Amino acid sequence: MPTEPETDYDPELGRKFIFVTGGVMSGLGKGITAASTGRLLKNAGFDVTAVKIDPYLNVDAGTMNPFQHGEVYVLKDGGEVDLDLGNYERFLDIDMTFDHNVTTGKTYQHVIEKERAGDYLGRTVQIIPHVTDDIKRRIREAAEGNDVCIIEVGGTVGDIEGMPYLEALRQFAHEEDEDDILFTHVTLVPYSKNGEQKTKPTQHSVKELRSIGLQPDVLVGRCSDKLDIDTKEKIALFCDVPTDAVFSNPDVDDIYHVPLMVEEEGLDQYVMEQLNVADEALPAEDRENRWRELVTQQTEGEVDVALVGKYDLEDAYMSVHEALKHAGLEKNVDVNVRWVNSEKMPDHHERRMREADAIVVPGGFGTRGTQGKIDAIRYARENAIPYLGLCLGFQLAVIEYARNVLGLEWAHSAELDEDTPHPVIDILPEQYEIEDMGGTMRLGAHETDIEPGTLAASLYGDSCTERHRHRYEVNPEYFDSLEDAGLKFSGRSGNRMEILELAAAEHPYFIGTQFHPEFRSRPTRASPPFVGLLEAVLGDDPHGVDAETEVSH
């Protein structure tokens, strides 16, 4: 994990801070609202970063169950974080670090370590000022080098876990100049049975916020439709904000249309005016317009991709879904992701897989559902269906090949079967003595060298740097026999196998990566393996792409 330097705050730096809180219920979309605001500010010429505050006691998200919390997103420095940071990276097109995620576990751990070391000189260590000071320090350090920092406070106002953070924000507001800080509150505006937009949940939420000492500057109403003017006026009256400070964020078909929606509402312009930076923004005609062009373009077809996994929850594979969408934006097609439950094969899920144009097997842990994934990989290999395996999907492709081509019966991963006679996937050497589960895998960005003339080289060039999250890898004892049988390891990091593929003469597109390329995919910069997958479906030849140098990945 990154070191935690103690720095003195310089009030003359002039950074702007936008704090985003949520009320009524979780899952409203305050993160997407915040990220969309940040995207528009970036389009206007400002350097924007973000901080996600997660009030849970976990130090990081690495040990969390995807069923409960969605995917674990991995940052370039190896930080395992909440999936919302993935949205910030995708919307802002930035690479964040573990310092941009603040958790209660991380904060308390640091404060307690300082207390044990005697850093507080005998003083009683308390929530105020020691924990709140540490929270403020983390926010300011994460904001360094940027014009604007957007801070999303997880959970909802009134949660007991979030109280120290809201108190820290109250103090923060007293320490900053008035035009350097803005509080945005996102709430639910539901419909009654008679079709009326109800403001009472918003009123109660703001009342709760004000009781803590925070007055929102901007209110964003999440509703299935735009807020009526009468609704806005009522919210403004009872929540003590100007009517111009009440904005709609209605439901849209695609989250990438949210920046367009809030721009239409004028949220970005209002924010810039309140922060006193409107005069510094680029003229409208000079602002970045690539995002709008991409998300509003008319598509010219569609592709069905089978996503074969065991977590029946889209959030568990959010980055994979988004990377497929980004590839679709680049190839100008709609990508329909067909969920295939690997535990329910053979049945209608297998039929769903067979009807797809391509197959993706994503990462995961544990034995449950692995045989269904192996069956899907074999089907893709034997029937020339474009295939992309990610992390576990890479490892299971090795297992499938060892079993069905090399004839190594019961070949498996030592992680999934300790008694396998052929552990073609085995634990990393440096992992033997590790007992803790959190933050101990091979994590973060690592460089891979790619062999010229391969499919991987046509996608990436001579090298790539992608993010990892795994504890096991291909067993070196089986390298030669696997390659002699036709499974090419085209990407390596020292003695670690990073990319596998089949030759073009054997398969139109069969590739697996030990790393997770989906974590670096962006709407304006799609991940090469995902683009190649769609090219294979559309009849283009991903093997023949000319890539003389490494692409941006």
Catalytic residues, by residue number, are 391, 516, 518
Structure tokens belonging to residue 335: 């990508």
CA distance 468 to 444: 5
What are residue 338's DSSP bridge partners?
Answer: 306
Ramachandran angles phi, psi of 39, nearest 5°: -60, -45
The total of other beta-carbon atoms located within 10 Å of residue 530's CB is 29
* Amino acid letter for position 118: G
| CB of 545 closer than 8 Å to CB of 349 | no
| CB of 34 closer than 8 Å to CB of 40 | no
Region of residue 323 (left: phi > 0; alpha: psi -120 to 50; beta: else): alpha
What are residue 18's DSSP bridge partners?
Answer: 150, 182
| Residue among 254, 238, 256 nearest 246 (CA) | 238
* Amino acid letter for position 236: A
Write 92-96 long-range contacts (CB < 8 A, 24+).
Answer: 92/35, 92/38, 92/39, 92/42, 92/48, 92/49, 92/50, 93/42, 93/522, 93/524, 93/525, 94/48, 94/49, 96/49, 96/50
Structure tokens belonging to residue 8: 């003195």
Residue 249 host element (H or E):
strand 246-250
What are residue 153's DSSP bridge partners?
Answer: 53
Sheet strand arrangement including 246-250: 101-103, 48-54, 148-153, 16-22, 181-188, 218-223, 246-250
CA distance 291 to 305: 24
Q: Helix, strand, or coil here: 186?
A: strand
Ramachandran angles phi, psi of 458, nearest 5°: -70, -25
Question: Using CA of residue 535, residue 376, residue 518, residue 82, what is the dihedral sign?
Answer: positive
Ramachandran angles phi, psi of 303, nearest 5°: -130, 135
Q: Which residues contact 516 (CB under 8 A, 6 or more apart)?
A: 74, 319, 363, 390, 391, 466, 467, 468, 469
The total of other beta-carbon atoms located within 10 Å of residue 305's CB is 25
Q: Helix, strand, or coil here: 411?
A: strand
Q: Helix, strand, or coil here: 211?
A: helix
| Residue among 392, 329, 379, 316 nearest 353 (CA) | 379
What's the DSSP call for residue 128? I
Ramachandran angles phi, psi of 489, nearest 5°: -95, 95
The total number of residues shown for the chain amounts to: 553
